[in-house]
Amino acid sequence: MSLAEKYPQEIEKVLAKYPPEHKRSAVMALLFMAQREEGYINKQDKVDIAKILDMTTTEISAIVGFYSLYHDKKAGQYRIQVCTDIGCALRGADQYLADLCEKLDVKPGETTDDGLVTIEEVKCLAACDKAPMFQVQSNNGIKYHEQMTVDTTLELIEALRKDAKEAK
């Protein structure tokens, strides 16, 4: 089922916010809409959005690839996105990410064996002075965690695992 078939009123409401000649400005809202159910934007969603906005799928894919809030691959329930931009790297973010991945037995971009957590490397979360830091994305929104250590991160992941078990 296409996005237009799934969410006709919602799409109409989003498009109404922009003059017809600037409907491309609705791209972020439509991407968010496409992503919210499954946690990622699939190929058909990109085609649907491109059609609705008179854009190419390449343009849509470029936007998805640029922003750390959009995803084109399925992942764990929680995405831990570690900033490794130069400011954070100077405060140890690269080593932090390597050590965290080693403890979790994953590489950046991979998901833990329980399917709960995906570790991702991202650029610039605007908190270089508080690195190592990351944001956790989930259906509950985004939460920043600053001045982290591998141990405090593992404690957080254990709390997420506990919450996930209790929610079942």
Following DSSP, what letter does each residue of 37-86 receive, concatenated? TTSS--HHHHHHHHHHHT--HHHHHHHHHH-TT--SS---SEEEEEE-SH
Measured distance CA(81)–CA(95) in Å, rounded:
15
> How many CA atoms lie within 13 Å of 118's alpha carbon, on the beta-carbon side?
17
Nearest Cα residue to 81 out of 150, 142, 156: 142
Residues in the annotated binding site: 83, 88, 124, 128
Residues in the annotated binding site for [2Fe-2S] cluster: 83, 88, 124, 128
Nearest Cα residue to 29 out of 9, 47, 49: 49
